[in-house]
Structure 1
Amino acid sequence: MQSRNSRLNNSALRGAVDLAAVKAAGEAAQKAEQARAERARQAEAGGAPAAAPAYPLVLDVTEETFEAEVVQRSAEVPVVVDFWAEWCGPCKQLSPILERLAEEYAGRIVLAKIDVDANQLIAQQFGIQGIPAVMAVVAGQLVPLFQGAENEANVRKIIDQLIAVAEQRFGITGVPVDPAAEGDERAATAPRVAADPALEAAHDALDRGDLGGAVQAYQNVLADRPGHIEAKLGLAQAQLLRRVESLDPQAVRAEAAADPKDVQAQLRAADLDLVGGHVEDAFGRLVATVAKTFGEDRDTVRVRLLELFEVIGADDPRVIASRAALARVLF
C-alpha cells in the first residue's frame, strides 16, 4: 500500500493511481488542525486577528513549479486550477471571475493559472480536451470542477462546495483573513458538509489497514445507498489492496507471461500493474484476455476490468479509451 505521503508527490502527473485516494489526508488534516488550534490560542491570549495568507492568492504555474505550487500547497489550501490560453475567448471571460473570487475568498482557496500552450505536458496528463477547464487539487487529489465558461453565481456555488468538502473531509481550511478585519462575512459562513458516520468508519478501517473491515464497511454503506460514489470507489480500492497484499509479484508475472490464457494469472498480474501505477498495462492486459477467452472466463475478466475502472474513475481518459477497446473485442 502506498504511504500517505505519496499523495503529495507528482502522482497526478505520473499516471500512477493513488490507492489511498479515499483515505483522509492525515498529514494535511493534522497540519490544518494545528493551525486552527494556534489561531484559537492566539485569540484566547490576546484576541489577535487571523493572519493573512503568506502565499499569493493568484499565481501562474508551469510544469517546473507545479509540484510545489499546486500539489504540495494543496495540503494546506484547496488549489483551483484554471487551464487557459491567450487565444481562448471564453477563457478571457472566466479567468477574471476566478481571480476576483480568489481575492474575495481571502485565503480559503488559491487560484493556479496554467497556460496550456506553454505547458502542454500538464494539459495532456490532465486529459484536457477543451478550454477553459477548471479543476482543483485537494490534499494531492485531483477534483474535476467544470469545463467551459460559467457565470459568477455558478462558479461561486462550485467553490463553496469545494471549500466545504475540503474542510470536512480533509480538515483543510487555508488561512482565511479575519472576517471582521476584512469585511468578508462569507468566509465565516461557508457551508459545511455533515459527517457520515458509516462512511467514516469505512475510511478509518482503511486507514488502519483493516482491509476486510473496510470492504465490509463500504458494502454496508452501499447496501443503504447503492449509488454512493465515494463508497463505490473505496470498496473497489479496498478489494484491490486486499487481493494484492499476499501476492509474490515475481511469481505472478512469471505465471502470466508463461500462459496468456490463464485467466487467474492475468487477473493477478493486472492487479499488480494497477497498484504499481501501470494503468494502461493493467487495462490492456485484461482487454487482451477478454479477446482470448469465452463464456464464464470472459465474463470473469470483463467484470474485473469494470471493477478496476471504478478504482481509477469513470471520467479518466484511460478508462474511456479502455471502455471503447473492451466494446470492440466484445462486439
Structure 2
Amino acid sequence: MSIVDPRSGAPLTAPQDTSAPSPQAAPSDEQLIIDVDRNNIQQLLEFSMQVPVLLDCWAPWCQPCKVLMPILEKLTREYRGTFILAKLNIEENQEIAAQLGVRSVPDVKLISQGGLVDHFQGALPEKEVREWLARYFPAPEDAPASPEEQAAEALAQGDAATARAIYEQLMQQNPEHYPYQVELARALVVEGRGEEALALLDNLPPEERDAAPARGVRASIEFREGAPSDEELAALAGRDDSEARFKRAMRQIADGDYESGLEGLLEVMRKDRAYDDDAARKTLLRVFDALGAEHPLTVTYRRKLFTLLY
C-alpha cells in the first residue's frame, strides 16, 4: 500500500515542501490509517519528515492489541491529519519488529523527522492515550469527552446510574484495567449499593485492593454507614458541643458536602482536640483517602491540618 498525504491526497515517495498547504477536505480513513510492511516502511520513515506517524505494532494473537487498536483509530480520525496511524503486524514482519526493538505488543511508537520520539506499551485506556498524545499535539477543538470524562461528569452531577453504565462497558472492553472497577464501585456507593461495591473491591488483586483509590471508596462507604440519621440530627438541634459538631460534620461528608464536613472536623479539633480519642483528626485523614491525594480539598485541608497541629 502506498502512503498518501492526508492533507492533499497525493501519493508520497519523498519529502515535499508543506510550508503553505492549501485547504483540503477532511482526510479519508485510507489517508489516515495504513498498514505498513517491508514494501513501504522506508516510505513511512520519509513521510514522518512531514507528518508525525503513530506506529501501532500488533499481532493477531494479542487480545490487548484488539482492545487498543479501535481507540487509536478513533483518535486518529479525531485529529484529522495531525498524524497518521500505521499498523505493523509483527507476525508478518518479524525482521522490521526486531529492528524497531519490539519485545511485546501492543507497542505504540511516535515517529517524527525519521526518528523515535516516544512510545508506550500495553492497552492503555482511552483517557490515558489522550493524555499521552496531549504531550505532543494540541487536542482537537471539537474532540468529544472520553468515556472516563463522561462518567466522572455524570457522577459529579449525581447521575450515578449513567456513570455505572459507562464503567461497566469500559470493564467489558478492558477487564484487567482495575481502576475501572474501583470507579464502578464508587458509582455503586452513590447509588446506595455499598455491599455490591465492597464485593467488587474485595475481588481486586491485593495491590489494587489496598491502594489509595480503593481505600477511598471503602472510606466513603463507612461514612455513609456511620452518618447520623435525620432523627439523630434533629435531637442535636441547638447543641454546640463536640459531639453535635462531629456528628453534623459526619452527615455532611456522607451527603457529599465534603468542604463543610472538613471545616466542621477542624472546628472540633480547635475546640476539643481530645474528643473521642482524637476522632476528628482520624476522620480528616480518612476523608483525604476518600477524595484522593490530588483533590483540591485534600490539598487545602491537609495544609490547614498541618497549621493547626504545628
> Which TM-score applies when normalising by structure 1?
0.40
Per residue, is there more helix in 1 or in 2? 1
Larger radius of gyration: 2
